[in-house]
Chain A
Amino acid sequence: VRYSVKKRSGLFSYVSIFPKFIHHFSEFDDQPIINQFVQSSFKKIWQAIFHNFELLHKEVDPQDEKDQINASVMTIGNFIFIQFRKFTLPREYFGE
């Protein structure tokens, strides 16, 4: 799903789903094959999520204040959501 700075959105669908997705997979911790799959995919998913945040800012027209505000609001909202949610996820998923 691509979001645009021209239209402000709240939580991105993939951001709101991601913590639940990880939770479901973490229930299979005792199954090495699934666990290995989750671990190897995790980095790619993180990268894709944050890459989309960066794409938003590349789309901003520097002359247009509204674009800038929309990009900031979307990044702030989604990042804070991830920050809140991270406390309910296993710490190792966050490289801490």
Chain B
Amino acid sequence: VNTLENEAIIKDAKKNYELQLSAYSNLALNLVLHEKITAFFDLLHKTLKSGAKPEELLYNVNFSKPSVKRLFDSWSDRDARAGIEKVYMRVEKHFAETPNLKPVVWASIKDNFLKSSSTFSQDFKRVYGNDLPIPFDMQNLISFIERQLHQ
């Protein structure tokens, strides 16, 4: 077997798989945090990455403190729990034919949640410091997912 060639094929396939897994987990995250909130954090991340100064962002209408407060007010813990239940039902439905794979999918979703949450809080702290708290604690949401899984 030409191992080098096989390695390249598997590497490409793995990249494709990781891309799909992250797309799937992002859809799950949208259900838990609301699409508007994830869109806000994505935009914040892209803007900071493009070199914008954090202190100047507060004058941008998308990132001003009142608009962020309004955005967070529209979200509640209860919505997140309902979202997690929805995600649970979705995974059950999508992977019904391959039940052995469900734990792996859940583990990936949880990993993705944690990764996103650390990016969210880093970006958020850079702009708002300790003035505004992020209303959700991802660790809490994940423990709720785990409780849901064990039910």
Q: Which of A47-96 contact B (CB under 8 A)?
A: 47, 50, 53-54, 57, 65, 68-69, 71-73, 75-77, 79-81, 84, 92-96
Complex partner residue of B101 from A42, A53, A57, A80, CB under 8 angstroms:
A80
Task: Tell whether B151 is near chain A: CB-to-CB under 8 Å.
Answer: no
Grouping DSSP codes into helix (H, G, I), strand (E, B) and loop, the B interface class, with mixed when no group exceeds half, is helix
Interface residue range, chain B: 20 to 34
Instruction: Give per-residue flags for B1-17: 1 if the beta carbon is below 8 A from chain A beta carbons, else 0.
Output: 11111111110111011
Q: Do residues B95 and A92 form an inter-chain contact, with CB atoms below 8 A?
A: no
Task: Tell whether B21 is near chain A: CB-to-CB under 8 Å.
Answer: yes
In the assembled complex, the CB of A93 is this many whole angstroms from the nearest CB of chain B, namely: 6
Q: Do residues B12 and A50 form an inter-chain contact, with CB atoms below 8 A?
A: yes
In the assembled complex, the CB of A60 is this many whole angstroms from the nearest CB of chain B, namely: 10
- Bound CA–CA A26/B36 (angstroms): 53
Q: Do residues A94 and B20 form an inter-chain contact, with CB atoms below 8 A?
A: no
Q: Do residues B9 and A50 form an inter-chain contact, with CB atoms below 8 A?
A: yes
| Chain B residues at the A interface, C-beta cutoff of 8 Å | 1-10, 12-14, 16-17, 20-21, 23-24, 27, 94-98, 100-101, 104-105
